[in-house]
Structure 1
Amino acid sequence: MELESVAEKLFARANKIPGMRGVLEFRLGEDSIVSVTVADTVTVGTAHPNPDVIVTMTADDFATVAAGEGDLARMFTSGKIRVDGDLGLATLLPQAIGASLSKKQDDSEDEINADEQRYPAPERYAESITAAQPPLEKVERYDRGDLTPEDFYHRYVLPCKPVILTDALRDWPLYNMSQEESLIHFEGLQGMIRAGDYVSKTFSKNRTFRAESMAAFVRAAQEYSATDDSEPPPYLGSNTMPESLEALIRWPDYFRRDQYIPPRIWIGPKGTVTPLHRDDTDNLFTQVWGEKAFILAAPHERSRLYAWTTYRQGGLEGSEVDAENPDYQKHPEAQEVNFLHIRIGPGEMLFIPDGWFHHVRSLSLSLSVNFWTTSVRRSGEAE
């Protein structure tokens, strides 16, 4: 196997990813080392004297990822690979590989933005849907058994409305076991942990990360006591769920299975925060342990929320507004925003449609699992 040729394919478009600049070294067994230097162009070579990121994995796993048959993020959480060095840069690896393996090859739609410059968020189709409706006064709640997938689709997916489903995880083994029982299943797994002031560096690769055993992190989170209010507590946020844990959950039946991407897991003590932002897909967010507070705002509030993106075309988008403590002198238009305040607890599922802004805070030790879909609204109705 020509490892350098494999690496060329795997990172052919890595320089198109905002912030993706540096030297990646892959150690694939005894005397098998390949490096990838990402600058304005991508250069592949052998061992590098000063790599920014070192990834240790088998050559077979490397080839599997290059063939589009392996998930690098899942391999990491499952403990099959080790990552050292600049972990902020390492978090961009799945995105860089996805761009390179994608069938879309129109470079005109991509943009190099190494400085993570912010652009005004573009309008989305979902905005025209919610703007045409009366302001939502509350988020409705239904027992999962009282809302069929067909009703869910017509009453919430098509009109782009959030909804909370209660008793939604009753058939999940992970939900039905105690925290101590579940710890057994976290042994041998690892997570990418957000540390430091990750809130002020929203969605930046310059956030501080560390790699840590999931079991050790959960134990530390159980005993965590805040000592410095200036920074949020460490957060195992948005890690791809390992296959061993995926066996302990159940995929929601509100979308086709082929519309879901691999679920993500979120674990942290009281006080973890994800600031106001919006995703580029529909999102089913489930709560296994603990309670979380959400602040929601409809898609058409985009300009009043001073929304921004690091891509001209949009995608994952942040907001300049602190949803918990808005500064109306700095952001006067935010006074007109209709914010919805909700809480979800153990066993509940929140549907956040594409384009809805949301701010999230953990009110207690929390384990959440979310399911993003590929059913983005682009025209008359969801796919």
Structure 2
Amino acid sequence: MNIVSKILDQSQPIEEITSIDAVSFKKEYFKKKKPVIIKGIAKEWEAVKRWDLDFFLRLKDDKDIYLLSDNFIQDDNRYRKASFKEYIMQLKEAESNNKDFKDYLTTLDIFKYYPELKNDINFPFFGKHTKVNDITAWIGPSGTISGFHADTANNLYAQIRGKKMFIISSTKFNKTMYPSSKHIYGAVASEVDINNFDEDKFPKFLNNDFKSVILEPGDILFVPQNWWHYVQALDSSISISNFGYTKFEVYSLKFKERIIQSLHKRGYYKANNCFCCEKS
């Protein structure tokens, strides 16, 4: 049973503002772990002005990437290797011809691949409070889904092209979000698939409180550390995530996660119980 509409009907809006400075952001949202939408704040970014599928095709180099399809979190999904420009061409063709296309590019370390693009974005009110920022790109067709999960880092999510819908829920509902035992780097997944919901298996899920928003190009959403969120692309879209770690978190949380991921890759931790292994 698909309950996305039902959750949206019972959800509340996320607080929305149109501007922010570093001091106010830290005091009102960062320290309080409170979500907020900064509406249109990124509209003047070069990324919002310039980035589209044709822009990516004009980049000098091609790169190997890893793709997913369908619901990355709750489906039995694994990465598969592809070429960046070949994928962009396939996405463009699907978009132009209104074809069904499910592959999408997630958590691409875009500035490692294309360092010349670093100046196209800017997170000054966030970067003043973080020591390390892991910035990744999300590119894909309409309909792509990242099911409910909770990132261990604070996340500023910027919409560059197209629209995306977010549904979020507080850490207060950790137990009734039904956390999965599967390993996922830097996050915890929910077992609940709201596109194929099993009420008997997850009887308390709909008692949780939810908030929702549709992000448009230039909007930035602050998703606080460990808050649950579900994301669905409403259009072919390009997005940027900035996962920020404070100085303390770099030497505690991030260090611990790297050790766990290293053990996982070597087969010592949840070797056959994860979301990250490449399809053979």
TM-score by length of 2: 0.73
Pick one of 84, 90, 93 that aligns with 1:220.
90
2:138 pairs with 1:266:
yes
Unaligned stretches of 5+ in structure 2? Answer: 1-10, 250-280
Q: Distance in 1 between matches of 2:50 and 2:26?
A: 31
State the AA in 2 paired with 1:247. Answer: N
Look up the equivalent residue of 1:347 and give its one-letter code: G
Change in 2 beyond 3 A, CA 1:178/1:304: closer
Equivalent of 1:173 in 33, 39, 46: 46
Write the letter of the residue equivalent to 1:149.
Answer: A
Identify the structure with the greater helix proportion.
2
Per-residue deviation, residues 106-130 of structure 1 (Å, max 9, x unmatched): xxxxxxxxxxxxxxxxxxxxxxxxx
Could you tell me which of 336, 349, 356 is aligned with 2:227?
356
Q: What's 2:17 paired with?
A: 142
Structure 1 residues 346 and 191: alpha-carbon distance in aligned structure 2, compared to 1, 3 A threshold = farther
- Which residue of 2 is the match for residue 240 of structure 1? 109
AA at the equivalent of 2:194: A
Write the distance in 2 (CA, Å) between the matches of 1:372 and 1:272: 21
Q: How does 1:188-203 map to 2 (within 5 A)?
A: 188-197=61-70, 199=72
Pick aligned residue for 2:213 from 342, 352, 361: 342
State the partner residue of 1:117: none
Deviation at 1:182, TM superposition (A): 2.2
- In structure 1, the residue matched to 2:197 is 326
Shift of 1:247: 2.9
Q: Do the aligned partners of residues 219 and 182 (structure 1) sit closer, same or farther apart at CA in structure 2, a change above 3 Å counting?
A: same
Contact in 2 for aligned 1:260/1:371 (Cα 8 Å): no
Q: Structure 2 CA distance, aligned partners of 1:322 and 1:263? A: 27
Cα displacement (A) at 1:317: 0.3
Q: State the partner residue of 1:278.
A: 150
CA RMSD of aligned residues (A): 2.8
Q: Does 1:156 align with 2:25?
A: no
1: distance between equivalents of 2:70 and 2:176?
26
Deviates more, 1:358-367 or 1:161-170: 161-170
Q: Secondary structure at the match of 2:204?
A: helix
Give the whole-Å Cα distance in 1 for the aligned partners of 2:57 and 2:202.
47
Identify which range, 300-309 or 181-190, moves more after superposition: 181-190
- How far 1:257 moved relative to its partner? 7.1
CA contact (8 A) 2:135 2:243 kept: yes
Kept in 2, the 8 Å contact 1:174–1:288? The answer is yes
8 Å Cα contact 1:185-1:244 kept in structure 2: no
Which of 147, 155, 176 aligns to 1:304? It is 176
Give the total of aligned pairs: 233
Aligned: 1:371 with 2:242 = yes
SS in 2 for 1:161: coil
| SS of 2:89 mapped into structure 1 | helix
Matched, 1:210 2:85: no
Q: CA deviation at 1:149?
A: 1.7
The answer to whether the 8 A contact 1:238-1:264 is kept is: yes
CA distance in 2, matches of 1:300, 1:181: 43
Which structure's relative contact order is higher, taking Cα pairs within 8 Å and 6+ residues apart?
2
Letter in 2 for 1:355: N
Contact 2:105 2:139 in 1 (8 A): yes
Contact 1:239 1:265 in 2 (8 A): yes
When residues 165 and 233 of structure 1 are mapped into structure 2, their CA distance, relative to the original with a 3 A threshold, is same
Post-superposition offset of 1:171: 3.4
- Percent identity over paired residues: 24
Secondary structure of the corresponding residue to residue 48 of structure 2 = coil
Quick one: structure 1 residues 249 and 325, their matched pair in 2 at CA, closer, same or farther if it must change by over 3 Å? same
Unaligned stretches of 5+ in structure 1? 1-135, 379-383
Contact 2:182–2:189 (Cα < 8 Å) also in 1:
no
| Secondary structure of the corresponding residue to residue 206 of structure 2 | helix
Higher Rg: 1
What displacement does 1:152 show? Answer: 1.4
Q: CA deviation at 1:324?
A: 4.3
1:63 aligned partner = none
